[in-house]
Amino acid sequence: MKRSLLFFAAFLMLIISAFRMSPAPVNMHQNAKAEPKRIKWLTVQEAYALTQKVPKKFVIDVYTDWCGWCKVMDRETFTKPAIVDYVNQNFYAVKLNAEAPGDITLGKQTFKYVSSGGGRGVQELAAALMKNQMSYPTTVFLDEKFQLIQPIPGYLEPRTFHQIITYFGQNYHQKEPFDEYKTGTYAKNFQGSLSK
C-alpha cells in the first residue's frame, strides 16, 4: 500500500511538473500574417455569365505562358492594394491565355483555337479583342454589354494602370481625353491612391 501511494505521489508530481514546463498556448491568429489582397481573376466564360446577371465592365489581361512582361505585370502591377481593390469593385477581371488550346463559347458564339503548327496557335477571341495586333501583354477593356472599349498593348506600370482603370471604370473616357484626365481629374481625385 505504501508503495502504491508513493508511486501515485511520484506520478502526480510528474504530471504537475509537465504542465508547468509546457509553453503557453500560442494564438495562431496573432502570429499569422494577413493574406495579401488579390484580384479575383475569372475565366472569360465565368465573367460573361456573371455580367448577364450583374452587369459590370471587363478588364482582360491577354497573356501567354512565355511572356516575360506578362509575369512582371502579374508581380508588380496586379498586386498593388489600390489596384486590387479598384479592379475587384468595378470590373470583372479576366485572364485570357491567347495561346491556350480549346474553343471558347460565349452565349451563342464560339471562338476557335487556330493552330499554327508546332504546338502553337492563337485564340480567335484574343485576336478579335486585340484587333489582330498580337502583342503581349495586352490589357483589353470591355463595357457592360461586352462591347470593346479599347485594347492597350504592352506592359503597364502600376501608376499608368491605375490611371487607365479609373479612366474607364468611371466612364471618364466618354467625357475627356486621357491626357487631360491624367493631369486634371486623376490628379485631383486619385493622386495618393497607390501609396495606400
pLDDT at 22: 46
Is 29 within the bounds of a domain? no
Number of domains in the chain: 1
Is 134 within the bounds of a domain? yes
pLDDT (mean) for 107-114: 94
Which residue in the block uniquely carries the three cell numbers 498593388? 80
Is 88 within the bounds of a domain? yes
Range of the domain at 88: 37-195
**Which of these, 154, 102, 155, 164, lies nearest to 130 by C-alpha position?**
154
Q: 173-195: buried (b, 16+ CB within 10 Å) or exposed (e) per residue? A: beeeeeeebbeebbeeebeebee
CATH number of the domain encompassing residue 87: 3.40.30.10
Is 72 within the bounds of a domain? yes
Residue pair 61/111 in contact (Cβ under 8 Å)? The answer is: no
pTM, entire model: 0.80
Residue 177: which pLDDT band, with cuts at 50, 70 and 90? very high
Three-state DSSP class for residue 31: helix
pLDDT in tens, 38-92: 999 999 999 999 999 999 999 999 999 999 999 999 999 999 999 999 999 999 9
Is 55 within the bounds of a domain? yes
Is 183 within the bounds of a domain? yes
DSSP state for residue 194 in the 8-state scheme: G
Is 13 within the bounds of a domain? no
DSSP state for residue 106 in the 8-state scheme: E
